Structure 1
Amino acid sequence: MPSPQALFDIQPQLSTPIYRQVVEQVQRLVAGGQLGPGDELPSVRVVAERHAINPMTVSKAYSLLEAEGLLERRRGVGMVVAARVQPASADEDRLTLLAPALETAARQAAQLGIAADAALAAFSRVLQKTPKEE
């Protein structure tokens, strides 16, 4: 499981609202198997302090994930991945979660006038230097 400190990569400069970034990152971590049933998420306070964001933003994201059935609230522990959640088994399911980020990157490449082959090469370089979560 990723450390609580490294769990979220919040980027306030993006057009995606911060609460959506948290929701989507948890969805991807569960689908990819980095977070499994019973794994604890960092508290609202810890996430808010670590990323200098409003605690209500984190609380909103956690509440949406709870309503979706991905997280459950445990007394004395906080938010944990729901016991019945299974990682996405098919690559296609995980690729579906990646699609919005790829669409954004493709749009930005087009706006910058970057050719598809150059954008693919850049993506490949980023993939190669991105550490895998253990």
Structure 2
Amino acid sequence: MLYIFAKTTYNITVLLLIIQLIQIKNTKPLIQKSGEIKVFEVDWKSRTPIYEQIVEKIKELIIKEVLKENEQLPSVRALSKELSVNPNTIQKAYRELEREGFIYSIPGKGNFVAPVKAKINAKKLSNLKEELKKILQEAFFLGLSKEELMEIVDEVESKTKGGTQRD
């Protein structure tokens, strides 16, 4: 009798796993373009606010050129449904991205990836360099070697642009 119960429980567990796999397979991607799937998820356990996570993920997709110039982003409603997030949160993320110059909106049409603007990028790059200098000073003070720094730079570069390792 115990053997039959254990076998039945095992079969139910296998069926549940199969159902979950089918559900995962049938979920629609966040953004789909010519067979290419671009998906991101929200980390519900993170202390980082959800809208900031969305902002960072979209920035990452834009920086890595997964999202191209003038490409339309998902609507607020579609993205909120896909991520199970309040539409106001998505709208806040889009507003922040627009404020930072990563996207632009056309009323009645949607949100689009902004073209690269040299002046804005130069200003942002200048600010980032200053922040980087402060961080590097602290890192060197704490004992980071130049070799370790170069390894980090190579790692970040390869993740960002798919570049090759330094010689």
- Cross-structure match for 1:19: 51
The answer on whether the counterparts of 2:30 and 2:74 sit within 8 Å (CA) in structure 1 is no
Find runs of 4+ consecutive structure 1 residues off by over 3 angstroms. none
- Cross-structure match for 1:47: 79
**Shift, 1:15, TM fit:** 1.3
Bigger helix fraction: 2
TM-score normalized by structure 1? 0.57
The answer on whether the counterparts of 1:45 and 1:55 sit within 8 Å (CA) in structure 2 is yes
Q: Measured at CA, do residues 3 and 32 of structure 1 come closer, stay the same or move farther in structure 2, by a change above 3 Å?
A: same
- Cross-structure match for 1:60: 92
Structure 2: where are the runs of 5+ without partners?
1-28, 33-37, 119-124, 129-167
Alignment root-mean-square deviation, CA: 2.5
- Cross-structure match for 1:71: 103
TM-score normalized by structure 2? 0.47
Higher Cα Rg, which structure: 2
**Shift, 1:47, TM fit:** 1.0
Q: For 1:38, which of 70, 77, 83 is the aligned residue? A: 70
- Taking CA–CA contacts closer than 8 Å with sequence separation of 6 or more, which of the two structures ends up with the larger relative contact order? 1
Structure 1: where are the runs of 5+ without partners?
87-92, 97-134
